[in-house]
Structure 1
Amino acid sequence: MIIEYLSDFNCPYSYIGLNRIKNICNELNLDVKWEMKSFELEPGLSNIPVSSVERYAIRNELSIKDSEKEIEELEKIAQNEGLNMNYKDIQLTSSKDAHRIVKYLERYYPEVTQEFILKTFESNFIKNENIADHNTLIKITSSCGLNKSEIEEFLNKETYSIEVDLDMDEAISNGISTTPYYFINYDGERLMIPGVFEKEAFKIAFEELISGEIKKKTFL
């Protein structure tokens, strides 16, 4: 099975959805090849932190009070699934360099790519670290067994910036405007799942795809 997924390290739904799908794949004992497609929700952000509550309110056209309520609900959902998410205190910064590292790892170190992705989500949403800070990214890659100087040299360049942008351009050209979005490829079939669904709904879709009972190519 090949799972391609559009995701962003600043998207709480991306973190929750990936966690659910990974748990399902483990439960079903599936052999999966993963590929993350970049989609920056906030491409204009820098390495200077901004308020996640305010940005969430602006992006979803909410008041600050309603934004706080929705974020609190998101945190509860994540916590019920074992993710001790603290979204309200996140240091919301650019995810561009983290996406560039994913491209680099997929090319040269595919065996640790998913580990890096999950640790970067954890760094952002649980530890509330600045994932635009090169020191943070180097610390994460080092914990995955990569050479510190190699990643430091990579980050000081702009390698894979174009590829990150092209992922987003391709998604937008196909009518995709947000994350997450999943493409599940199995035995010649391709199941498209837009957004995050309950774990049981995800699991049923996977089981029907594997059994050949799936009737549609899009899970809506």
Structure 2
Amino acid sequence: MLIEIWSDIMCPFCYIGKDHFEKALAQLSFKDELEVVYRSYQLDPNYHHQAGDTTYSYLSQSKGMPIDQVRAMTGQVVQMAKQTGLVIDFDRSIPANTFKSHELIHYAASVGKGTEMKGRLFKAHFEEGLNIEDESVLVTLATEVGLDAAGTKEALSSDTYAYEVKQDLNEAKQIGIRGVPFFLFNRKYAVSGAQPTDAFVEVLEKSFSEWRESNPKITFLNPDKDAPSCTDDSCSI
């Protein structure tokens, strides 16, 4: 069953939501029958990092809020993350354009490393204060999850994965997504926000049960295990 998740690396609730969602997956007996695909979303596609910008100054300007109010707001998010075991450090985090990060996630997904890359980028941004708009930073992070440096550089310089990012962004508009994280289960049920783990378990069980009814599992019945047959490599003649 397909599960699609629209999120942005700059979004702390996407980081928290990812953690809650993965904890829900770990509780399921059918988790191996789920395909999780991360889709791209940009909260502020027009922003590009400028030297001296901090998360506080960025949020103050973009939301029109005093710095003290921004600090109080982000402090609540820090505590929310702490409760789930994550570290979010707004004193260190650097606001950045995330388009290249999304390209990297698509490239990583093409070799089965999409989830790992997503998690590494979140940690780099929120905990380590790295500039995820910097391509040299992205290449280093990619190698840390097992991707080839040369392949990563080529992926980031080509239009292949930029096209995929743009496709995700366009589809988000068509669906009507206006906030992230946004979870779409089997193209039927949608959940938004950093929901509690139990809520994710509930919707996963409901959507999978309905999906299973229309996609029954094949049961093999072989009364005679020695009956002659052919495989891809040979025939038992």
Q: Structures share a fold, TM > 0.5?
A: yes
Aligned position for 1:94: 97
The letter of the residue matching 1:46 is H
C-alpha separation in 2, matches of 1:72 and 1:78? 10
> 1:47-95: CA deviations, max 9, x gaps?
4353212333344443322211111110111111111111343111111
| Partner of residue 25, structure 2 | 25
Pair 1:130 & 2:131 matched: yes
- CA distance in 2 between partners of 1:146 and 1:86 (Å): 27
- For 1:29-63, what per-residue CA distance to the aligned partner results, in whole angstroms no more than 9, with x for missing partners? 41231111111112112243532123333444433
The answer on whether the counterparts of 2:155 and 2:161 sit within 8 Å (CA) in structure 1 is: no
Matches within 5 A, 1:197-216: 197-212=195-210
1:191 corresponds to which residue?
189
Name the CA distance, whole Å, in 2 between partners of 1:58 and 1:175: 26
Aligned to 1:160, what secondary structure does the other structure show?
Answer: helix
Contact in 2 for aligned 1:183/1:191 (Cα 8 Å): yes
- Quick check: 119-128 or 154-163, which moved more? 154-163
Specify every segment of 5 or more residues in structure 2 that has no aligned partner in the other structure, as ranges: 211-237
CA distance in 1 between counterparts of 2:81 and 2:135 reads: 27
Write out per-residue CA displacement over residues 164-187 of structure 1, whole angstroms, 9 at most, x where no aligned residue.
1232122123221121100112xx
Structure 2 contact 108–147 (Cα < 8 Å) conserved: no
Does residue 81 (structure 1) correspond to residue 79 (structure 2)? The answer is no
TM value normalised by structure 2: 0.79
Return the TM-score normalized by structure 1.
0.85
> Quick one: which amino acid aligns to residue 75 of structure 2?
E
Residue 218 of structure 1 corresponds to which residue in structure 2?
none
Instruction: Using the TM superposition, give the Cα deviation of residue 106 of structure 1 relative to its aligned residue in structure 2, in angstroms.
Output: 2.6
Distance 1:208 1:59 in 2: 39
Matched residue type, 2:163: I
Pair member with larger Rg? 2
Tell me, which stretches of 5 or more residues in structure 1 are unaligned?
213-220
2:103 matched to 1:105?
no
- Of stretches 190-199 and 112-121 in structure 1, the one that deviates more from structure 2 is 190-199
Is the 8 Å Cα contact of residues 131 and 137 (structure 1) preserved in structure 2? yes
> If each structure's strand is expressed as a fraction of its own residues, which one has the higher value?
1
Alpha-carbon RMSD: 2.0
Question: 1:145-184 to 2 correspondence within 5 Å?
Answer: 145-184=146-185
User: Identity of counterpart residues, as a percentage?
Assistant: 23
Q: CA deviation at 1:211?
A: 4.5
**1:71 touches 1:88 (CA, 8 Å); kept in 2?**
no
Within the candidate set 66, 70, 76, 2:69 is matched to 66
SS at match of 2:160: coil
